[in-house]
């Protein structure tokens, strides 16, 4: 059951990455299916109370980030939600919310920051190779973060290392 759920998660993520990279649009159906496909994997080794409390903390972190983006957007674009049209898409924000369900709080922060950096570097390298202007090209954030999530799933399936809820950094730090 866990392997089937992991394979289903990989397929959904791969489709999401390809959709975002090629078309800059993603299907909300796959956004709904990803957390559902992770449930057997996560709930097989963590307690539901721990999962709920970690998810709430992760949602708080995303809300904090979106609040800061709203304040910046008000200053820069003159609208609290201007960043949704100008910088982030609705699919990017929805993907942030999906990620909240998949990690412990400390691992979520590490994944969020690391995948943002990898996404940005990967996009810059791709733009240089393709000779596309960074100013005009759309930044496929879900593709980069989804690719990083695919790598974590692959590591989990192949060698058994868990970066979702195992302690990389002690929770007492956060």
Tell me how far apart the alpha carbons of residues 71 and 77 are, in angstroms, rounded to a whole number: 10
Residues 6+ apart with CB under 8 A from 158: none
Q: What digits encode the pLDDT tens for the residues 15-65?
A: 777 777 776 677 777 667 777 777 666 666 678 888 889 999 999 999 999
Tell me how far apart the alpha carbons of residues 112 and 65 are, in angstroms, rounded to a whole number: 11
DSSP class of 172? G
For 72, phi then psi, to 5°, come to -60, -40
Q: pLDDT: is 133 or 105 the higher one?
A: 105
Contact call for residues 26 and 19 (beta carbons, < 8 A): yes
Residues 6+ apart with CB under 8 A from 106: 167, 168, 169, 170, 171, 173, 174
The model's pTM is: 0.79
Structural domain boundaries in the chain: 2-168
From the CB of residue 98, how many other CB atoms can be counted at a distance below 10 Å?
21
Which helix (H) or strand (E) segment holds residue 10: the answer is helix 2-23
């Amino acid at each position: 059951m866990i392997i089937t759920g992991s394979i289903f998660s990989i397929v959904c993520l791969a489709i999401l990455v390809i959709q975002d990279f090629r078309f800059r649009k993603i299907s909300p159906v796959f956004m709904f299916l990803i957390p559902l496909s992770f449930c057997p994997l996560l709930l097989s080794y963590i307690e539901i109370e721990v999962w709920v409390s970690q998810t709430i903390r992760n949602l708080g972190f995303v809300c904090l980030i979106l609040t800061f983006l709203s304040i910046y957007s008000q200053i820069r674009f003159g609208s609290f939600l201007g960043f949704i049209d100008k910088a982030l898409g609705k699919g990017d924000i929805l993907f942030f919310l999906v990620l909240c369900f998949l990690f412990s709080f400390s691992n979520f922060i590490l994944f969020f920051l690391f995948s943002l950096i990898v996404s940005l570097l990967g996009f810059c390298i791709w733009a240089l190779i393709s000779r596309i202007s960074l100013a005009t090209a759309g930044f496929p954030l879900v593709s980069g973060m989804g690719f990083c999530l695919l790598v974590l799933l692959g590591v989990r399936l192949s060698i058994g290392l868990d970066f979702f809820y195992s302690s990389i950094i002690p929770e007492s730090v956060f």
